[in-house]
Amino acid sequence: MTSLTGVTRQSFDLGEFRLRNGALLPRTVLAYETYGRLALDGRNAVLVTHGYTSSAHAAGRYTAADAQPGWWDGAIGPGKVIDTDGYFVVCSNMLGSSYGSTGPASVDPRTGTPYGPNFPEIELADIVTAQRHLLQALGVKHLVAVAGVSYGGFQAFQWGIEFPDFMDGLCVVCSAPSGRGPAAVEETAAALARDPNWNGGRYYETGGIHRTLQAMRLATLRRYGYAEALASRYPDARARDTAMQALAADWATTFDGNSLLTLERAAARFDVLSQLAKIRAKLLYVLSTTDELFPPSLAPQVMAALASAGVDATYWELKSAHGHVASSSEPENWTPALKMLLESLMPTG
């Protein structure tokens, strides 16, 4: 099975967008990608939601020469589990992120300068509501499923609670129904503040904070299990480390430090354990055996909470040495469960 080619980046302008806390974004843009075609009835769509520091490039390649396809390419495409010959797949860059959607590095139309640390606080509910506006503009009437990994799993849970009748299925991968709390925010804020160019988050004209971001990214890649995922491609440890250094350097040129804080603060406030009974969709919960961020020890508590809330939920343990990135690097170890979920959502008779 091959990757999609000729994938294009697109953007949607929502105009004014009122956040849950009452703050108004005078202009809000979402970057997104789509794969496949929307059915005439607008009911064959799957929304794919990305991780904390990732983008809307979930599948395929922009050109045939691209070395690296989208982050869930093993699951999305012609003949794959999320088969783009039948499904219309949408992946939207999160509100507050750094890959084309409105975020702290965007220019505030009211001042003509980047929002920076003045970007308003957002919630997971704001992120998914903005996505709902995008889907409506695309003509999507109903979702087959929302599927997301890590921070994308937060979004999937929020979708199920915020718009319970808008989808039939939810797939939550390497994630949980609550975030890590304020300690993670404090850790990130302290690391950024140590950069001599930080300037209270107003570093856009002071040389940037690329070295700090690169160091943070390298540490994250190691924690996520990238070294193990790259081992087959780079058997030599030194070559593998060089490849990871290059990945970190490239990311540091595109991601914004204030976006890290904006999204992490939203995640710290995310906790929907008490609202799981609102979910009406079938739910697949997937955890990786070696994930340090969302270890499989979470499964009993989460599955018990889902059962207590009356949610039709199934658990799948992704056996892998690749930690948090296993769903991307070894799709064959979990997509059979996603296939079963999607098949169970098909109309019968």
Q: What is the pLDDT of residues 265-313, one digit of tens each?
A: 999 999 999 999 999 999 999 999 999 999 999 999 999 999 999 999 9
57 is catalytic: no
Q: Which of 271, 304, 258 is nearest to 158 (CA)?
A: 271
> Backbone phi, then psi, for 345, in 5-degree steps?
-90, -10
How much of the chain, in percent, has pLDDT values that exceed 90?
94
Query: Does an H or E element contain 226, and which?
Result: helix 226-229
- Structural domain including 102 reads 10-180+269-344
Question: Taking 90 as the threshold, does the pLDDT of residue 348 lie above it?
Answer: no
- 223-245 residue pLDDT tens: 999 999 999 999 999 999 999 99
Question: Quick one: pLDDT band at residue 180, thresholds 50, 70, 90?
Answer: confident
Give residue 80's pLDDT. Answer: 98
**Measured between alpha carbons, how far is 270 from 123 in angstroms, rounded to an integer?**
8
DSSP 115-181: -GGGSPP--HHHHHHHHHHHHHHHT---EEEEEEETHHHHHHHHHHHHSTTSEEEEEEES--SB---
SS3 at position 101: coil
- 81-90 residue pLDDT tens: 999 999 999 9
User: Which string of b and e fits 217-239 if b means at least 16 CB within 10 Å?
Assistant: bbebbeebbbbbbbeeeeeeeee
Give residue 248's pLDDT. Answer: 96
Residue 251 forms part of a structural domain: no
Q: How many domains in the chain?
A: 1
Residue 213 forms part of a structural domain: no
Question: Taking 80 as the threshold, does the pLDDT of residue 2 lie above it?
Answer: no
Can you state the percent helix, strand and coil of the chain, rounding each to 5? 40, 20, 40
Q: Which range has the worst mean pLDDT, 99-108, 135-144, 175-184?
A: 175-184
**Measured between alpha carbons, how far is 291 from 228 in angstroms, rounded to an integer?**
12
CATH number at residue 84: 3.40.50.1820
DSSP code for 335: H
Residue 73 forms part of a structural domain: yes
Give residue 68's pLDDT. Answer: 87
Residue 60 forms part of a structural domain: yes
What is the mean pLDDT of the segment spanning 22-39?
98
Residue 198 forms part of a structural domain: no
Residue 317 forms part of a structural domain: yes
Question: Taking 90 as the threshold, does the pLDDT of residue 349 lie above it?
Answer: no
250 is catalytic: no
What is the mean pLDDT of the segment spanning 24-30?
97
Question: Quick one: pLDDT band at residue 64, thresholds 50, 70, 90?
Answer: confident
Give residue 4's pLDDT. Answer: 94
What is the mean pLDDT of the segment spanning 43-70?
95
Residue 207 forms part of a structural domain: no
- Give the active site residue among 291, 320, 322, 327: 291
pTM of the full predicted structure? 0.96
108 is catalytic: no
Residue 259 forms part of a structural domain: no
**Measured between alpha carbons, how far is 99 from 256 in angstroms, rounded to an integer?**
9
How much of the chain, in percent, has pLDDT values that exceed 70?
99
Residues 6+ apart with CB under 8 A from 82: 46, 48, 75, 76, 89, 147, 338, 342
- Give the active site residue among 324, 327, 328, 329: 324
Q: Is the C-alpha dihedral spanning 222, 339, 169, 289 positive or negative?
A: negative
- 118-145 residue pLDDT tens: 999 999 999 999 999 999 999 999 999 9
Give residue 1's pLDDT. Answer: 66
